[in-house]
Amino acid sequence: MEVDDGAELCFPQLLNTSCRKPTSPWSEAVLLHIVLSSISLLTVALNLLVIISVSHFRQLHTPTNILLLSLAVSDFLVGLLLMPGEILRKTACWFLGDLVCCGYKFMSCIIPIVSVGDMVLISVDRHVAICDPLRYPTRITGRRVKLCVCLCWLFSVFYSSVFLKDDLTQPDRYNSCYGECVIDVDYVAGAVDIVLTFLIPITVIIVLYMRVFAVAVSQARAMRSHITAVTLQRSVTPKAKKSELKAARTLGVLVFVFLICFCPYHCVSLARDSLISTSSVSFMIYLLYFNSCLNPVIYALFYPWFRKAVKLIVTLQILRPGSCEANIL
């Protein structure tokens, strides 16, 4: 690699093979590091609260919350691994070596696939709860949901192993010099990947939620028209329906925000490099990862149980004996 005299190198001892250090202004680099690192720490902290809440309190051990737990784990890993890795890749020299770079590529493929899979499972859960409520308790059980979550993670690992087979066997195949960690995918392979891991799942999600909201609207109208029905119907059945409708609305917001954050990146991924600047791609990646920080915020806005659980966690009341049986619903 040819460098200009006086150019700052990532590894000065490797004069002819070292990458140059990023040349962005110092103040801009510091500001970018502070903002992105803060978002990363916030993502880790908020999703850790979700993980502790759903895992600790027995009342939250429901099929829907198991799916939210899986999503929180993937979001937690985004904040813990993917955000710091992306910050290092884009704003500094990669000094962690080819092996860690390979691991970063592997995780950056696994985790988004798991997130998409969780969203599909959440959509199926709400579809059955709203469209077939009488059979929901027998069709959507805790054991079946746990099995589906495990299969989702296993599929993501298997698919990523196949998709990144060449990168796993030759970690530095795309690196032109020492001090960088390049992620590059063949255009055809990338297009196929987007279809399999994004377009098809997103289509399923949209179709299911269109059906969910159509049924939800009809149920809401039916509830209003029968508001003067017998006492049992008015006090029990509508209350249960109202709870399911509220859950569908909340998870609908979750899915909508997910689409806003994920779609731009996958759309621009199909465009050729000459049409999109590096800074634009970086912004799309940060937006995709930022979704992991927004999900717990959505829980805090719409789920009273999450706010109660956070209060008990922050005040360390979960350390008391029997705290897992606390009534937070």
What is the DSSP secondary structure assignment for residue 82, as one 8-state letter?
A: I
User: Which is more confidently placed, 265 or 113?
Assistant: 113
* Other CB atoms within 10 A of residue 227 CB: 10
Vertex 145, ends 290 and 294: CA angle to 5°? Answer: 15
What's the average model confidence in pLDDT over 1-24? 67
User: Is residue 5 a part of any domain in this protein?
Assistant: no
Does this model's pTM top 0.75? My answer is yes
In a domain, 9, yes or no: no
Nearest to 72 by CA among 59, 53, 99: 53
Question: What mean pLDDT comes out for the span 280-303?
Answer: 87
Q: How many whole angstroms separate alpha carbon 21 and alpha carbon 205?
A: 43
Query: Cα dist. 40→61, 209, 286 in Å?
Result: 27, 30, 10
User: Residue 179: inside a domain, yes or no?
Assistant: yes
Query: Which alpha helices (H) appear in 270-314, and where do they start and end?
Result: 278-302, 304-314
pLDDT at residue 233 in the model: 47
pLDDT surpassing 80 at residue 323: yes
Say what percent of the chain tops pLDDT 70. Answer: 85
For residue 264, give the CATH number of its domain.
1.20.1070.10
In this predicted model, what pLDDT tens digit does every residue of 264-277 receive, in sequence order? Answer: 887 777 665 555 66
- Residue 118 is assigned to a structural domain of this protein: yes
Q: How confident is the model over 182-194, as a mean pLDDT?
A: 80
Res 80: pLDDT: 94
Phi and psi, residue 185, nearest 5° = -130, 140
Question: Is residue 44 a contact partner of residue 75, using CB atoms and an 8 Å limit?
Answer: no
Q: Do 156 and 113 form a contact (C-beta atoms < 8 A)?
A: yes
Q: How many domains are there within the chain?
A: 1
Q: Say if 252 falls within a structural domain.
A: yes
> 18 in helix, strand or coil?
strand
Domain contains 18: no
Residue 276: the pLDDT is: 60
Domain that holds residue 112: 26-325
In a domain, residue 308? The reply is: yes
Among 98-107, 144-153, 232-241, the range scoring the smallest mean pLDDT is 232-241
Angle between helices 26-56 and 63-77 in degrees, nearest 10: 150
Q: Is position 3 within any domain?
A: no
